[in-house]
Chains A and B, each alone.
Chain A
Amino acid sequence: MTNAEKYVTAAYCVVFAVVLAYVLIIALKLQRLEREVDELAGRTPAAEDEEREAAPVG
């Protein structure tokens, strides 16, 4: 591999790494948002009613 080939490969790897890092950060953020949505769904009045209905009686 010549010097030029090494540098060109490095340049394209940098672009790939930056895009990959960006996509990973966005994916992690979306996972966090999904968790928060689940938490909120559990706190809504409808979810609380369901919990009350599911509780054993007697």
Chain B
Amino acid sequence: MASLVLITTALLFVFYVAPDDANQGFSQRIFYFHVSIAFTAYVCFAAGAWKAFRHLWKRDPRADLESYVWVHQGLIFGAMVLVTGSIWARISWGRWWVWSEDELVLFLILYLFYCAYFMLRFSVDPGPQRANLSAVYALFGVVLIPVSFAAIRLAKEVLHPRVFTLHGPNFGGWILVTYCIAQAALLVLAYTLYRVELAGKRLDLRLRELKEVLA
């Protein structure tokens, strides 16, 4: 419910309150969700890595499934980043994708890396070995997040706008307020979807165990 209210508020702010950007005009409005979704994807991957770390360190029996669900959320949000980013690129650069842009390519590498997480996970039978392999892989993936985030700041030739610099966000006023609301909305949405998916997965597991007992 909170995510629904926040998303609606964010959309109202994006389309009715936030002013047009001086350089990009109306197309800049994609950024409120595009940047928020990208940050949310990073948070999901980081949360997946944290749960993976807990699995390896504390042997927390719930952590493997939680890590998997966070990575899955990150992949869904990552797909949205790629699609919304491509749409923005089409408006601003006249192309859907620019291979010379480090930020774009690194995010694609990060995305494909996590796609391979699922290939690895489902190629091993369920059990401790699968949980350990998945956890190590998720921990490796998290290293790519700061690389992806820093790429735009280290790149020599930059087409992709710098939304955040070392001195803080590159915007203020209503644009900042709208961005903060959109960011909060997407973080809450990701957490809500995570809780729902996790509950479904746990129920599925318990049902399978129960079926085996009754069989």
Min CB distance A5 to B, Å, is 6
Inter-chain CA distance A7–B207, complex, in Å, is: 45
Main secondary structure of the interface of B (DSSP, over half): helix
With a CB–CB cut-off of 8 A, which chain B residues contact A4?
Answer: 25-27, 91
With a CB–CB cut-off of 8 A, which chain B residues contact A30?
Answer: 200
With a CB–CB cut-off of 8 A, which chain A residues contact B80?
Answer: 14-15, 18
The answer to whether B200 touches A5 (Cβ under 8 A) is: no
The answer to whether B210 touches A7 (Cβ under 8 A) is: no
Task: Find residues 25-46 in chain B having any chain A CB closer than 8 Å to their own CB.
Answer: 25-27, 29-30, 33-34, 37
Interface string of B74-98 (1 = CB under 8 A from A): 0010011001100110110000000
Interface string of B7-51 (1 = CB under 8 A from A): 000010000000000000111011001100100000000000000
Q: Which 5 A-B pairs have the closest CB atoms?
A: A4-B27, A11-B87, A4-B26, A11-B84, A7-B91
